[in-house]
Amino acid sequence: MVTRHRPDTRDAGPRDGAGPGLPARRAHARRARRKTGPAYPYALYLPAAAVYIVIFLIPTAMAFYFALTRWTLFDSEFVGLDNFRDFLAEQNLSIGFRNTVVYAVVTSGLKVVLGLGLGVLLTSKLRLRGFLRSVVFFPVLVSTVAVGITFSVLLKPGTGLVDRVLALVGISGPDWLGEAGTALLSVALVDVWKGVGLATVIYIAGILSIPQDYYQAVSADGGNAWHRFRHVTLPLSWPATYSVIILSFIGGLRSFDLIWTMTRGGPGFTSDVIASIIYKQYQSGFFGLSTAGNVLLFVVVTAIVIPLNWFLGRRQVAP
Amino acid sequence: MRNLRRAGAEAAAFAVAAVVFLLPFSFMLLTAVKDEKQAADLDFSWPASWPIVDNLVEVISARDYVLLRAYVNSTILTVASVTLIVVCAAMAGYVLQRRTGKIGALANFLVLSGLIIPPAIVPTIWLLQALGLFKTLPGLVLVEVAFGLSYAVLLFRAFIAAIPRELDEAAMIDGCSGFALFFKVIFPLLKPVTITVILTQSVAVFNDFVNPLYFLPGDENATVQVTLYNFQSQYSTQWNLLFMDIVLITVPPLLAFVFFNRKIVAGMTAGAVKG
């Protein structure tokens, strides 16, 4: 104990001499500290740091090495950039990049638009507002697997509920999850259904924090509902938009469970994203290739989210 | 006239929301209480018979009571992970907020990295195997803690920022410092944010599918989400049982939602609006 704090005292010594009129209180506090240790010991970080470093940081760092190997978990053979070359060259692997980005853009775009719309609607003087807020938010808390299974039943071609409803108005719906053109977008729409509640409550919190004065000013100038939305709600709920975009982009790029329960990347490889390819390669025992996928996902996420964060953050400063 | 239009718009909004958000849930419930033959139609017809108890018993006893074991596993997993997350994150969030400097900046950077970086799956498995924790519940608990820490630390840090430093100083003059200061003075004050963290993390861990899939494969210690996923291929003809399982798995989040809706929403929007 004493040895550990000796540098502290030595450090403070000269400063004490330089300032002759040092308040007695600080000296007292220093004495107390010497007895009991620092007020905010770094040791409080220890449990969190231990778990975080061992379970998260070390594997993340190791991934950059193992991505360059042919790996069986027990021994690894260095193969250079072969895994990455495979990923970029093979059609069924490289499709994952396009799909990952498409999925993230579609889900976060729709969450922003629908979340803002629902947020405005559910902060207006609706009588059933409390009930509707609950209804919209509840899917956020339901397990993704349960949502995935339910919607794959509702989207069954011909007999599924969605197709039956469409048949009522004379449209024959496609095989939503079985056709290459619609599978990924169908899953993305279900993702929006499940996640739009979170975007909505973020917007509600953002809209409620806008001071009423602004709305009164618009009304005094003779503005209507559209002006109130366009010139007050929309610009002043920007922090909420920022959060929704960043959160749903990170979530969308990493998304796996919904895609896996609804299509398993099919038909063929047409709805595979990077995360589902990582799982498939892991299942087939290509651990090096799987880890290369992880490194690429890391690159894609940071290459998109960090510039996006910077860009959106800059707009926030100068509205 | 205006009132009439207003009521009309409200009714329309209500109807659309009900159809879009409630229909899937009523479909789950209806299918879960039908008999096998009628459930196979997968439509919205009213149940001809109500074999609720039969379905329930059959789902629970299926595959040698795997669902019950899964419930026990998921409960242990959730309670253990959330307890560790609360203790670790509260301590870390406290130092992070109170003590700035190089280590604080590094910790801040790591917390944000934890939110953004996708976990490297196979290297984590490799490491857990080296530690003898792969395919064990304690191993999965550590994984959930490591991946859940960042978000909880942010919530705690934001809450602690509102606790005045004068309180710490008063406690220090009374000779209370370091761990004692945190656990005796600060931690009891964190109750509101602790409840929020417990709720949001419990829902996240209980609903987690990806991490149990990777880090806890095998039937004997499956969690509820993985069991449900496996039921999907097993019960491809017995839809009533599959949806009864879905209903059972949706009950815990539903209870959390009914009793603590406001707290959960507060936790999930915290910090989001401030930017």
From chain A residues 106-165, the ones with a CB under 8 A of any chain B CB are 121, 126-128, 132, 134-147, 149-151, 153-154, 156, 159-161, 164
pLDDT of A10: 38
DSSP letters for B156-199: HHHHHTTS-HHHHHHHHHTT--HHHIIIIIIGGGGHHHHHHHHH
How far is it, in rounded angstroms, from Cα A175 to Cα A266?
13
How is residue A273 written in tokens? 């994203």
Identify whether B49 is part of a domain. Answer: no
Identify whether B29 is part of a domain. Answer: no
- Number of domain units in chain B: 1
Identify whether B275 is part of a domain. Answer: no
Kindly identify which residue of chain B lies nearest to residue A292, measuring between CA atoms.
B120
What are the chain B neighbours of A42 within 8 Å (beta carbons)?
95, 99, 103
Boundaries of domain holding B259: 64-269
Which residues are CB-neighbours of B7 under 8 A, at least 6 positions away?
Answer: none
pLDDT of B142: 95
Q: Domains of chain A (ranges plus CATH)?
A: 85-317 (1.10.3720.10)
Identify whether B53 is part of a domain. Answer: no
CATH code of the domain containing B128: 1.10.3720.10
How confident is the model over B213-250, as pLDDT tens digits? 999 988 778 899 998 998 887 777 788 888 999 999 99
pLDDT score of A2 more than 50: no
- A146 to B274: CB separation less than 8 angstroms, yes or no: no
Q: Which long-range contacts (CB under 8 A, 24 or more apart) does A311-317 make?
A: A312/A242, A312/A245, A312/A246, A313/A242, A315/A238, A316/A238, A316/A239, A316/A242, A316/B275
Identify whether B27 is part of a domain. Answer: no
How confident is the model over A109-140, as pLDDT tens digits? 999 999 999 999 888 887 778 888 888 999 99
Identify whether B41 is part of a domain. Answer: no
Cis peptide before A267 (omega within 30 of 0): yes
Nearest to residue A275, comparing CAs of A299, A263, A257, A287? Answer: A257
pLDDT score of A21 more than 50: no
Identify whether B134 is part of a domain. Answer: yes
CA distance B261 to chain A (A): 8
How confident is the model over B4-35, as pLDDT tens digits? 777 787 788 778 888 888 888 988 888 888 88
Identify whether B4 is part of a domain. Answer: no
